[in-house]
Structure 1
Amino acid sequence: MTQTYTFSPITATDRAGLVWVAAILSLMFSVLTLATRIQIKLHTLGLDDYCICAGTLVAIGQYVATYIGLHNGVGISSSLMAQQKAYQLGEILVATQIMYILALALSKLSVVFFMKRLFTRDHIKAWWACNAALVLTIVWGIGSCLIATVDCGPSNVLYGSARCSGKLIRWGIIIGTGAAIDILYVGLAVALVWPLQMSTYIKATVVFAFAFRLICVVFAAMHGLYIGRYVHAADPGLAIAYVLVWQQVELGYALMAATIPTLKSFIRGYNKAMGFEASYEDKRGLGGGYNLRSYGRSGNMSHNNSGLRSKQHRSRVGAEPEQMDDHDLRPRDGEYRAGAYHDPVRKVRRQTSTGSGDSEDPIIRRDVMVTIESQRASGAVM
């Protein structure tokens, strides 16, 4: 008779298998999403990308700690473990909680930094609003870590009837305020985009990208629900397994949701409407400047050059004005020479809002001074 072995059996006294599945899938999806984001934005990384990288690294630490705890007995009934072992596993669980909060805070900061880069160009009110959200998020992260750990150590996490003083209230505050901040992000996106002069479709697309954060609220509510059941459970060893399951789900989705608004399909229309989109191919030109063809709408330099040579030829042979291009702006009599130069030394001082200096992404607008000189030559046309 063939004997079948399972990785982590789910029985009446063991729920570790549920946590294993949730933690492994959460790790895989969050890391793959980050890798895709870095591959797409490798040459345009900003503070939002660095925050999500840091958040994913902290989350990996949370996953590893969870795996270690599961390997050593987390998720099995408290009646099957000694008090000393329960205390050791409680230390691991407290560490996972701290890293979970820090990773969530970093994912939220990534969203705020992206909003700051996207909305605060030349908009002082948007700059102040995004910075207020930034401060609020930092305060939430630090405060949540303190609320979760002060006078609430690992001694009674998996053993005994006590679950720390006011544990349900503590986590109610942490989860409730975190969910409120996610809702605030969506409301802030609506407030910053809707007054702009662009189509309703573009506005709705941008808001929809940030609206994915609302699913974090649903997962946070489920996490809080099972924390309440854990606090009142007669067997905390089993009840903590369901708390960890929703902890992994919420954390993994929060990391992925921070990347969704940065996808080009969501912000392309916004950038075009705001005039921020430019060609980034062959940006570096002679003399350290930018090639003029980078800013051409057709992107076909050969066509533009051929048209210019055709105009010059018609000028030399004395072509009639009627045969010339409708956009020919040169004088109709006499030889005409025109040249376009870009001076990389000369800087254009543009008055901007306080927040425009915080942007590091190439999608922001660049001002280029182009000097056009014309000269009418005297003498007969050769």
Structure 2
Amino acid sequence: MEYAAPYAVNSTDRTGLIVIVETLFMSWMILVSLIRLYMRITINGPVQMDDLVIFVGSAVAVVHVGIIMNAVDNGLGQTHDESSSSTLKKAGEDFYAGNLLFLIGHGTAKISVCLLLKRLGRQLDYLLYSKILLGMVIAWTFASVLAVALSCYPQYQLDFIALEEHCRNIDTAWKAITAFDVLTDVLSFGLCIFLVWGVQMRWKEKCTVIFAFGTRLPLIILIILRQTYLNDALHHPDPAFTLSNVVISTAVLLHSSIMIATVPCLKPFVISFNTGWGQGVNSSNGNSYFTPTGQSTNQSRAYASRTEEDEVDLTNRQSEESHHSQQLIIRQTQEWKLEEEYEMQSVKDQAQI
């Protein structure tokens, strides 16, 4: 006796493709999130607010996959004739919940990046711009969830006639959400450029920082592609089948957004695998390292030092000419770690700063 596969990929059924993409990208996302957690616990902790936010987004993304899997079992991704109206109604409810979870997970990834950028700078203008961008992203996340939740109710999601009658505003809502989604990603990239523009460092290091945060730019292509699929699906007589492209692009966008939010934090993880061939090796006490010249550099010196947990480590050092001003500089060691160092100063000078 032959048994039909539970999921298939053909001209009338794309459930198999949805399941493959959802589970594959979720597995990668979980792996990257675990790497970030490992870094914060063992390499360059403690866990910061941007880490907590991205971990929440990862949990939301896992729940999103479970909701979409349930929608697939109820007929999402198949032609309308293969599913009864009752199961399509359940699939529509799951699709509705999946969209809300997508916006929450995607929004938390963007918020995490903004929090990370905010922690890297010290200039007053930069801090102001980073706070404004953070506020914009948070407002976009809440507004997007409310817009999608109120524009079309769950029972109308996969019914073409109901979509035309009761969900006329859903198309406009998604277009506005997409526009501001692209705008915030562009602004975050511009803020990254502003971060390193006035820093005294070589262009090679500047390009490395820009590239780390610029990895979010390709997501703009996914955002626009998803919106294109959504425009076609909302006006198709069989939305349960045509929305499969939207579901697939949504899964790729959600999990990629969370993974890419961790890219700027991966340098310490890569450095931890350094064998020390010509780059210096860690000492046994964990508080110093040996350079290729054989000299030991200890953390307990005449100045207070701490290592930033981000791969972009910006240094505020007090100028030698004046005790009342600080200059943002970059220090590069043999392990490609930059440390934030503050020279000892009197209590009076500290009060003035």
- Distance, in Å, in 1 between the alignment partners of 2:345 and 2:129 is 35
Q: Confirm or deny that 1:255 pairs with 2:258.
A: yes
Q: Aligned-pair distance for 1:182?
A: 0.8
Aligned counterparts, 1:130-149, within 5 A: 130-149=130-149
Q: Aligned-pair distance for 1:151?
A: 3.8
Cα gap change, 1:251 to 1:133, in 2 (>3 Å) = same
Please point out which of 173, 178, 183 is paired with 1:175.
178
Cα gap change, 1:342 to 1:13, in 2 (>3 Å) = closer
Cα gap change, 1:55 to 1:351, in 2 (>3 Å) = farther
Partner of 2:37: 38
Q: Aligned-pair distance for 1:50?
A: 0.8
Which stretches in structure 2 are left out of the alignment for 5+ residues?
272-281, 305-322, 327-336, 347-353
Q: Aligned-pair distance for 1:85?
A: 2.5
Cα gap change, 1:224 to 1:366, in 2 (>3 Å) = same
Cα gap change, 1:367 to 1:69, in 2 (>3 Å) = same
- Distance, in Å, in 1 between the alignment partners of 2:303 and 2:176 is 58
Partner of 2:56: 54
Partner of 1:216: 219
Cα gap change, 1:342 to 1:133, in 2 (>3 Å) = closer
Q: Aligned-pair distance for 1:267?
A: 11
Which stretches in structure 1 are left out of the alignment for 5+ residues?
269-278, 284-290, 305-339, 344-349, 354-361, 372-382
Cα gap change, 1:199 to 1:265, in 2 (>3 Å) = farther
- Distance, in Å, in 1 between the alignment partners of 2:4 and 2:250 is 28
Q: Which amino acid aligns with 1:8?
A: Y
Q: CA RMSD in A?
A: 3.4
Instruction: Report the identity percentage.
Output: 25
Q: Confirm or deny that 1:83 pairs with 2:58.
A: no
- Distance, in Å, in 2 between the alignment partners of 1:97 and 1:246 is 12
Partner of 2:350: none
Q: Which amino acid aligns with 1:126?
A: Y
Contact preservation (8 Å) 1:90, 1:155: yes
Q: Aligned-pair distance for 1:12?
A: 3.2
Q: Provide Cα deviations, 1:301-346, integer angstroms capped at 9, x if missing partner.
A: 5x99xxxxxxxxxxxxxxxxxxxxxxxxxxxxxxxxxxx9999xxx
Q: Aligned-pair distance for 1:351?
A: 8.5
Contact preservation (8 Å) 1:78, 1:159: no
- Distance, in Å, in 1 between the alignment partners of 2:25 and 2:110 is 17
Contact preservation (8 Å) 1:342, 1:370: no
Please point out which of 238, 241, 257 is paired with 2:241.
238
- Distance, in Å, in 1 between the alignment partners of 2:261 and 2:131 is 18
Q: Aligned-pair distance for 1:132?
A: 0.7
Q: Aligned-pair distance for 1:92?
A: 0.9
Q: Which amino acid aligns with 1:72?
A: N
Rg comparison, structure with higher value: 1
Q: Aligned-pair distance for 1:210?
A: 0.8
2:237 partner SS: coil
Partner of 1:24: 23
2:20 partner SS: helix
Cα gap change, 1:341 to 1:79, in 2 (>3 Å) = closer
Q: Provide Cα deviations, 1:251-302, integer angstroms capped at 9, x if missing partner.
A: 011011101111227999xxxxxxxxxx99857xxxxxxx7x689997745x
Partner of 1:206: 209
Cα gap change, 1:193 to 1:161, in 2 (>3 Å) = same
Contact preservation (8 Å) 1:114, 1:262: no
- Distance, in Å, in 1 between the alignment partners of 2:91 and 2:325 is 54
Q: Which amino acid aligns with 1:110?
A: S
TM-score scaled to structure 1, two decimals? 0.70
- Distance, in Å, in 1 between the alignment partners of 2:241 and 2:15 is 8
Partner of 2:117: 115
Q: Confirm or deny that 1:15 pairs with 2:14.
A: yes
Please point out which of 365, 368, 373 is paired with 2:340.
365
Moved more, 80-89 or 104-113: 80-89
TM-score scaled to structure 2, two decimals? 0.76
Contact preservation (8 Å) 1:90, 1:154: yes
Partner of 2:188: 185
